[in-house]
Structure 1
Amino acid sequence: MDNNVQPTHFRSEGDINTTPARDKWNKSIADQDTQSLLKRDSDVFLHQAMSTPCLDSLAGAEGIYLQDTSGKRYMDFHGNNVHQLGYAHPHVIKKVQEQIAKLPFSPRRFTNEIAVQCAEKLTEICGGELNRVLFAPGGTSAIGMALKLARHITGNYKVVSLWDSFHGASLDAISVGGEACFRQGMGPLMAGVERIPPAVSYRGTFPLHNASSNENGDVHYADYLEYVIEKEGGVGAFIAEAVRNTDIQVPSKAYWKRIREICDKHNVMLIIDDIPNGMGRSGEWFTHQAYDIEPDILCIGKGLGGGLVPIAAMITKDKYNTAEQISMGHYTHEKSPIGCAAALATIEAIENENLIEKAKNDSQLMRDELLRMKEQYPLIGDVRGIGLLWGVELVTDRESKQRAYDEAEAVLYQCLSNGLSFKVSQGNVIQLSPPLIIARQQLKQALAIFEQAIADTCKEYNYL
């Protein structure tokens, strides 16, 4: 394979950092301190896809902004999904500092007040039957615990997941994930995983059913789950994001209602991975709440730590509290006082600042503005989203829906030049995920930067 040609599947998770456009961007950085730090980074860190070479070097982060070594600021609409509260939120910092001074670490065989408080609060905002918690140092670890618990409860080891899904980068997580870029060259993975197509409204496996006018037109994707469960046998779990984060696939309520019915009928545990979208991004505490369903196991992380401390959790039902003789997690930082202090402070900040309701209100502004842009610019093929999670799919032709790879890169780098950072998924889907704390004027400013980049790219590539 030509080393200069990137397989299409490498674009599934994020923008490619080894294209000519990225090379041009890197060479355009005039600040010598930045160039020096990027060189030192490249010399000391193990290179990996989507991380090396780096985009820029950072010296600070506060509120909705990242600040690079030269002093330039970016509005961060990506944040690796930890930035619901932006950066350096004073309430989270205060609570973590207080906890460090009081009890910085709790060995695994001991409990502590802040860990219990945090777990109790999580069960409160989950509501329903989700009232049993295990903490973990990161989201991937929470997924591993969920898969183990499902095997224990059902006695079945097989798992059904979705193509294009991402559930973490460890071997068990990439086994159930649906992105080829993470499995490339890894050899045999965890046995017993079957994948089915995700519910896609714009370009799907079953395009004849993808009529945008039919809000329940994706239920047949759920029916396919039942077909696989019945044909395969021995399935213990179905794992999925309620809303696919990176390229923003938003199923209907009917889809998720049908999924819940199928799992109940066949004694299959429903695992919802809300690691990237939980903590308010959907306009609900957790994304499944927008669909009026309840999973058997919920996995959360990323934003749980307030953009300050890595922490994740698996939350399940009391009736599944039967694994006392099995080590589900056994992590060194299982009840981290610092992590739990950050998580509890994050929940408090979201409540105190009414950010759930704010996300719903800001969502309408984003919807209206992005749909207006779609009407005006032929480069935009589709707009979809929920809460403060929006995807703008760029296409070279609206009839063929051919992905506009080069145009998406052009939009990305122009926006970066003008102080707006975001992620590109599938090579052509612009993901816009602003912090929940963003002021209305800041949101309008960011959308104006984005629209100017779309307009300029349309002109550059001769879109009429």
Structure 2
Amino acid sequence: MMAEKHLNQQHLHEQRLSAEGDINTTAERRRWQDAIDHQPTLNLLEEDARYFLHQSMSTPCLDVLSKADGIYIEDDRGHRYMDFHGNNVHQLGYGHPYVVQKIKDQLDTLPFSPRRFTNQTAVDCAKKLAEICPDDLNRVLFAPGGTSVVGIALKLARVVTGNHKVVSLWDSFHGASLDAIGVGGEACFREGMGPLTPGVERIPPAVSYRGVWPGEDGSDVHYADYLEYVIEKEGGVGAFIAETVRNTDVQVPSQAYWKRVREICDRHNVLLIIDEIPNGMGRSGEWFTFQRYGITPDILCIGKGLGGGIVPMAAMITSDKFNVAGNISLGHYTHEKSPVGCAAALATMEVIEQDNLLDKVKDDERYVRDRLETMKDRYDLIGDVRGIGLLWGIELVICRDNKTRAREEAEKVLYRCLELGMSFKISQGNVLQLSPPLVISRKELSRALDIVEQAISEVIEGKELHHES
């Protein structure tokens, strides 16, 4: 009985880990590592395990990288991978020459600005953000990472509304600090942490494929109605925080859902905090994903790709009417007006404009949708495909009728794709999450989807052969 209980607990633990990404302690991972016959790689992986504090999803590492350029990462054995993960910082790929040059120029003049001073690059970057943001989003605070700006947003919401309670979504990710996991919805980050941010109520996300409350004719508006129910019953709610489209397993709500959420927040004086940290800066074909839904948040959090895939950089953006916390240190970070970070961010925005990447992403979206829908028609292993811009999820299932997650198959597809030269992540244990650099060429995009299809086909064939034997 005790052994069975332990196995059940271990199974639940692995499911929690798989919510954010693929697990790096499985048999498939061991098979991958056992195949590495390059001693310098093995030595460095061993040193990494020796000197870094171990944590889930980081230890042991997959491989050793020596180069990153364009859409590719390269290990120290010379194997190149198209990077369809990139921790969501690689909208412009790696080492974009324009961004690199702007950073070098900034390093030659003003490499650091103490917090009590301002500088031209920081002001120009803030002005540019105000220019690309819709409506009255024009007040900015910078920070070194997305987790930090989420914390700033939560502080500002308390100041503006006088209420500390927050509603968020189950399975959401807003960062790894204590305050961020307090409003996040992924158990793998909260496990064993004890008391977290008080006054947080989590509600189910609007999930179309396997939602807890299937709607009629695919509708998801009732998920927004439940938000209003919680706000009214709980009382004292100051903010609702969510990603417009959930990045990890690519959940794409309807426009009606977000219109209703915006109306509910307005009606109850609840601030809408939109987390665009992984998806902002063009991944949806707009600067920010919420623009595809015709809404505007009260507070916007961006990061990751803002730094051009080089410099850690994030920003919280709000409007003039919420400029009411002059006597409170909302952020107060050492690199608050980093000239180098702002140079990278400014250059990133300029490249997106100069290269017309927003229009390109919309064209790519149509191409990827057609390719993936064709794959779904061809392979029963694919239960669902969903996405927006250059963010896509392929959900693998053992049976389409009961939607049983095909976890082992998904992992086999992942490692086969790595062998074929393509890297991505798995979410929820069975969703292949594809988020390539926005600068990817159509030829490269086609090749990547060919690799995915080849891997899926081979896994299906291998499974059938195994059953026959």
TM-score bracket, normalised by the shorter chain, equals over 0.9
User: Contact 1:132–1:315 (CA<8 Å) still a contact in 2?
Assistant: yes
- Measured in 1, the distance between the counterparts of 2:14 and 2:35 equals 26
Query: Partner residue of 1:20?
Result: 27
- Measured in 2, the distance between the counterparts of 1:462 and 1:365 equals 30
- Measured in 2, the distance between the counterparts of 1:295 and 1:243 equals 14
Q: How does 1:266-415 map to 2 (within 5 A)?
A: 266-415=268-417
Q: How many angstroms does 1:210 deviate by?
A: 6.0
- Measured in 2, the distance between the counterparts of 1:401 and 1:460 equals 21
| 1:408 counterpart SS class | helix
Query: Partner residue of 1:191?
Result: 198
User: Contact 2:357–2:439 (CA<8 Å) still a contact in 1?
Assistant: yes
Q: How does 1:249-260 map to 2 (within 5 A)?
A: 249-260=251-262
Specify which of 433, 436, 457 is matched with residue 434 of structure 1.
436
Specify which of 29, 35, 47 is matched with residue 40 of structure 1.
47
26-35 or 63-72, which moves further after superposition?
26-35
**Quick check: 1:239 aligned with 2:246?**
no
Q: Where do 5+ consecutive residues of structure 2 fail to align?
A: 1-5
Deviations 1:14-56 (A, max 9, x none): 0000111111111111211111111111111011000010011
User: Contact 2:393–2:434 (CA<8 Å) still a contact in 1?
Assistant: yes
**Quick check: 1:72 aligned with 2:74?**
no
User: Contact 2:14–2:23 (CA<8 Å) still a contact in 1?
Assistant: no
Query: Partner residue of 1:140?
Result: 147
Q: Where do 5+ consecutive residues of structure 1 fail to align?
A: none
- Measured in 2, the distance between the counterparts of 1:30 and 1:362 equals 38
Identity %: 68
Query: Partner residue of 2:126?
Result: 119
Specify which of 149, 152, 157 is matched with residue 150 of structure 1.
157
Instruction: Give the CA RMSD over aligned residues.
Output: 1.2
Query: Partner residue of 2:3?
Result: none
Q: What amino acid sits opposite 2:21 in the alignment?
A: G
Q: TM-score, normalised by structure 1?
A: 0.98
| 1:66 counterpart SS class | strand
- Measured in 1, the distance between the counterparts of 2:166 and 2:342 equals 30
- Measured in 1, the distance between the counterparts of 2:128 and 2:14 equals 45
| 1:461 counterpart SS class | helix
Deviations 1:51-96 (A, max 9, x none): 0100110000000000101111000000000000000000000000
User: Contact 1:200–1:210 (CA<8 Å) still a contact in 2?
Assistant: no
Query: Partner residue of 1:262?
Result: 264
- Measured in 1, the distance between the counterparts of 2:42 and 2:300 equals 42
Deviations 1:423-446 (A, max 9, x none): 100000000001000010000000
> Kindly tell me: are residues 104 and 445 of structure 1, through their superposed partners in 2, closer, same or farther at Cα, counting changes over 3 Å?
same
Query: Partner residue of 2:89?
Result: 82
| 1:9 counterpart SS class | helix
User: Contact 1:201–1:210 (CA<8 Å) still a contact in 2?
Assistant: no
Deviations 1:323-346 (A, max 9, x none): 000000000000000000000000
- Measured in 2, the distance between the counterparts of 1:284 and 1:295 equals 15
Query: Partner residue of 2:456?
Result: 454
Q: How many angstroms does 1:4 deviate by?
A: 6.8
User: Contact 1:136–1:331 (CA<8 Å) still a contact in 2?
Assistant: yes
Q: How many angstroms does 1:127 deviate by?
A: 2.2
- Measured in 2, the distance between the counterparts of 1:328 and 1:57 equals 38
- Measured in 2, the distance between the counterparts of 1:108 and 1:426 equals 41
Q: What amino acid sits opposite 1:202 in the alignment?
A: Y
User: Contact 1:134–1:314 (CA<8 Å) still a contact in 2?
Assistant: yes
Q: How many angstroms does 1:459 deviate by?
A: 1.1
- Measured in 1, the distance between the counterparts of 2:216 and 2:435 equals 25
Matched positions, count: 459
Q: TM-score, normalised by structure 2?
A: 0.97
Query: Partner residue of 2:171?
Result: 164
> Kindly tell me: are residues 155 and 181 of structure 1, through their superposed partners in 2, closer, same or farther at Cα, counting changes over 3 Å?
same
Q: What amino acid sits opposite 2:14 in the alignment?
A: P
Q: How many angstroms does 1:279 deviate by?
A: 0.2
Q: What amino acid sits opposite 1:285 in the alignment?
A: W
**Quick check: 1:174 aligned with 2:164?**
no
| 1:12 counterpart SS class | helix
| 1:74 counterpart SS class | strand
**Quick check: 1:97 aligned with 2:116?**
no
